[in-house]
Structure 1
Amino acid sequence: MKAMMARGWGLVVAAVMLMGASLPASAEAVTEEFKIASKWPGQNLYLRNKHPAALYDVKPEKTVLFLHGATYPAHSSFDMPVDGQSWMDWMAARGYDVYSLDIRGYGKSGHPPEMSQTPEANPPVVDTSDAVDDVTRAVDFILSRRNSQRIVLVGWSWGATLAGSFANTSQDKVERLVLYAPQWLRDVTPPSDADLARVPAWRQVDPRDAREIWLKAVPEAKRDATLSKAVFADWLKATIASDAEPAVPNTVRAPNGVVLDTMRYWASGKPRWNPERLSVPALVIQGEWDAEAPPSMGMRLFNKITSSPYKRYVMVGEATHAALMEKNRKQLYQAVAEFLESPVPQR
């Protein structure tokens, strides 16, 4: 392990380099881990990177940052090997310089002190605005490190909200945008002020429940084939291990700022970000059996992307919200790579 200073930042960064970790034997790659400062003292951000060992030519379209959803961290999903290869592995083997970020309060990133107190003792922590600040710091670190100008953002669920929100204010730093299983407006009864006032600082989550939630819309006879119990067990182990100080064994803590934002915006008929303002190429991609962000939701968002020079919608058949580790995950990987590698059509 070595300490290094990010160029011009004054941030202490710890890096670990592992040759060929989790990659096929034929693909020589490097894994690096960083802790970069957030704007909150003592609450550093965990950033994982995988790239080819021979990375000589850094290109914006080949530099990718993965952003996770509202409940679980990035590293235990985007870098969770299935049959020996994670999505990050697959991208690195294809020549990408790929990163994943754990937002503050999740996984290996620092946690707000409120998350060591009882949930009801404080208001919700780490909302979308806070998380976008984390994304900004991660993007700036990557661009400074690579002496580059732009990056690709791949956001999953709430991560798509973060990616879109960042692009709304910093499109000059975004090469392309991938919105995977994105949030959009929900057809529900808007919450009352009393409902909003009752949201605690954080929540305790049992990840053992995730498989049943993800497979909710999958026909019973196809559930085991869609997301095998063995793969889920591996994800479960990595996810539980991501929280060093769980409130209860075999659970993870998650900030509730995103819950309050969902109630204030998506459940109240108000978009959290403005897709009409996107002026970068954008992909909306979803699973056919996604019960949390169904295809109809993604299509409504897709139709709002009116100023992008190039947009694409893809549905992955027989896939759920967790398509990245399911049987049809390679369809997701390949569709994203094809979008990133396709030239923007001339108008």
Structure 2
Amino acid sequence: MVGEISRRDFFVTTRDGVRIAIREVADKEAPDRSVPMILMHGTRIPGLSEYDLDVPHGSLAEDLARRGHRCYIVDGRGFGRSERPPEMEAPPAKTRPLYRTLELTRDLDAAVDHLCDASGHDRAGMFGWGVGGTCVMAYAALFPEKVSHLVLYVMMYGAAGNHPKFCHGSQWEDPARPGHFNRPHFGNYTFNAVDMLTREWDRQIPIADKTAWRDPAIVKAFEQALIDGDPTAKDRDPPTYRSPNGMLEDLFLMGIGHKLVDASQVYARVMIVRPEFDTLSRKDDMDALAADLINAAEVLYWQPENTTHYILFDRPERGRDAMLGEMEAFLGR
């Protein structure tokens, strides 16, 4: 019988002294027998917005907790409720983008150590969205003894190149230095519009009535969570929220064909999720990722048809329930 779902917000400190925000979501009555999970966000969106919305079918963390998995939702440095550097209190500057993927593995390491101590497990599972998937894969390569399962959701790998959006000649490339991220334009961090996800989501839903595919309450909760995650958001009209640009630089580099980590260095069980209508994750790139996972204990390459990049937020019958079922079977092995 499922018990009461509890939520607890706290901070951990990384080896280099950065305070990282974590939300624990767990079933108070469930024994710690299931795989404890770290949930890592993607490029511009902090953790709670992606994994714990207070609306029906809006919280992957709660769904996993009800299945016995204690979850830690991580905000990487500079994101959401985590410590931001002084540079992000000043206007954006044309300097090095803040916090590349490998830097964020320090935040994951602090979270994994805390979760393993709290749950009594030697290893944790990890779920990464977009570049968050690249981040957790890099962490699993650095610390194979700490990771049992990886769920790589709508990610980029960098094997294919020629991405239609993150490519040579795009806004992301410095016109004066081909092959380099456009630091003169984007700088160290960005102000993001809260409706950014909704506009891209609309383009992927293949029917006119978008509400038949997704619940409007999800969109409202998502956008409110973005505002709530930045104490300065309402200082601007309309509200915008801040995010570091390091993961954007990594997206561009992977888009033009740079691998940030080689998948042959991963030894955990791996589940790759690439929805059919996703415009970030590409089939040829994920095919290469699956082929490179030569040392993984298991590779499950799931490519659900008629689904979007935002399958975690789509209505249950639009692929969300199927994904939860696939994940639970994978985590049970």
TM bin (shorter chain): 0.7 to 0.9
Q: 1:332 to 1:222 in 2, by over 3 A?
A: farther
Of 223-232 and 324-333, the range deviating more from structure 2: 223-232
User: Partner of 2:227 in structure 1?
Assistant: 240
CA–CA distance in 2 between the matches of 1:134 and 1:321? 25
1:297 offset after TM fit, Å?
Answer: 3.1
1:107 offset after TM fit, Å?
Answer: 0.9
Q: TM-score, normalised by structure 2?
A: 0.87
User: Partner of 1:339 in structure 2?
Assistant: 330
Q: 1:129 to 1:33 in 2, by over 3 A?
A: same
* Counterpart contact for 1:288–1:294, Cα < 8 Å: no
User: Partner of 2:250 in structure 1?
Assistant: 261
Structure 2: 5+ residue stretches without partners: none
* Counterpart contact for 1:35–1:47, Cα < 8 Å: yes
* Counterpart contact for 2:277–2:308, Cα < 8 Å: yes
* Counterpart contact for 2:2–2:29, Cα < 8 Å: no
2:168 is aligned with 1:189: yes
After superposition, what is the alpha-carbon deviation per residue over 1:235-271, rounded to whole angstroms, capped at 9, x for unaligned? Answer: 11112111112362421111011122233x3133210
* Counterpart contact for 2:57–2:313, Cα < 8 Å: no
CA–CA distance in 2 between the matches of 1:277 and 1:99? 24
1:129 pairs, out of 102, 118, 121, with 102
Q: Secondary structure at the match of 2:143?
A: helix
1:294 pairs, out of 282, 296, 308, with 282
2:225 is aligned with 1:252: no
2:187 pairs, out of 200, 209, 221, with 200
* Counterpart contact for 2:8–2:25, Cα < 8 Å: yes
Q: Give the letter for the 1:50 counterpart.
A: V
CA–CA distance in 1 between the matches of 2:22 and 2:102? 19
Q: 1:283 to 1:26 in 2, by over 3 A?
A: closer
RMSD over aligned CA atoms reads 2.2
User: Partner of 1:16 in structure 2?
Assistant: none
2:54 is aligned with 1:88: no
CA–CA distance in 2 between the matches of 1:117 and 1:38? 24
* Counterpart contact for 1:127–1:258, Cα < 8 Å: yes
* Counterpart contact for 1:77–1:235, Cα < 8 Å: yes
2:5 is aligned with 1:29: yes
Q: 1:302 to 1:51 in 2, by over 3 A?
A: same
Q: Where has structure 1 moved over 6 Å in runs of 4 or more?
A: none
1:217 offset after TM fit, Å?
Answer: 3.0
User: Partner of 2:218 in structure 1?
Assistant: 231
Q: Secondary structure at the match of 1:215?
A: helix
**Highest RCO, 1 vs 2 (Cα 8 Å, sep ≥ 6):** 2
Q: Give the letter for the 1:306 counterpart.
A: I
* Counterpart contact for 1:284–1:312, Cα < 8 Å: yes
Q: Secondary structure at the match of 1:119?
A: coil
CA–CA distance in 2 between the matches of 1:206 and 1:91? 29
CA–CA distance in 2 between the matches of 1:90 and 1:335? 13
User: Partner of 1:303 in structure 2?
Assistant: 291
1:78 offset after TM fit, Å?
Answer: 0.6
1:179 offset after TM fit, Å?
Answer: 0.5
2:130 is aligned with 1:142: no
* Counterpart contact for 2:40–2:132, Cα < 8 Å: yes
1:53 pairs, out of 5, 9, 28, with 28
Count of residues in correspondence between the two structures: 314
Give % identity: 21
1:301 offset after TM fit, Å?
Answer: 1.7
* Counterpart contact for 2:191–2:241, Cα < 8 Å: yes
1:206 offset after TM fit, Å?
Answer: 0.3
Q: Secondary structure at the match of 1:214?
A: helix
After superposition, what is the alpha-carbon deviation per residue over 1:309-340, rounded to whole angstroms, capped at 9, x for unaligned? Answer: 21111123332222111113222222111111
User: Partner of 1:11 in structure 2?
Assistant: none
Q: TM-score, normalised by structure 1?
A: 0.84
1:218 offset after TM fit, Å?
Answer: 2.7
Q: Give the letter for the 2:25 counterpart.
A: K
CA–CA distance in 2 between the matches of 1:154 and 1:313? 15
User: Partner of 1:312 in structure 2?
Assistant: 300
Q: Secondary structure at the match of 2:113?
A: helix
* Counterpart contact for 2:116–2:122, Cα < 8 Å: yes
1:26 offset after TM fit, Å?
Answer: 6.0
CA–CA distance in 1 between the matches of 2:283 and 2:215? 23
1:202 offset after TM fit, Å?
Answer: 0.2
Q: Give the letter for the 1:308 counterpart.
A: A
After superposition, what is the alpha-carbon deviation per residue over 1:145-195, rounded to whole angstroms, capped at 9, x for unaligned? Answer: 233210001111111011100011101100111101111223132745365
User: Partner of 1:325 in structure 2?
Assistant: 313
After superposition, what is the alpha-carbon deviation per residue over 1:179-232, rounded to whole angstroms, capped at 9, x for unaligned? Answer: 011112231327453653424010111021211212323324253322233321
* Counterpart contact for 1:67–1:156, Cα < 8 Å: yes
Q: Secondary structure at the match of 2:195?
A: helix
Q: Give the letter for the 2:14 counterpart.
A: S
Of 77-86 and 279-288, the range deviating more from structure 2: 77-86
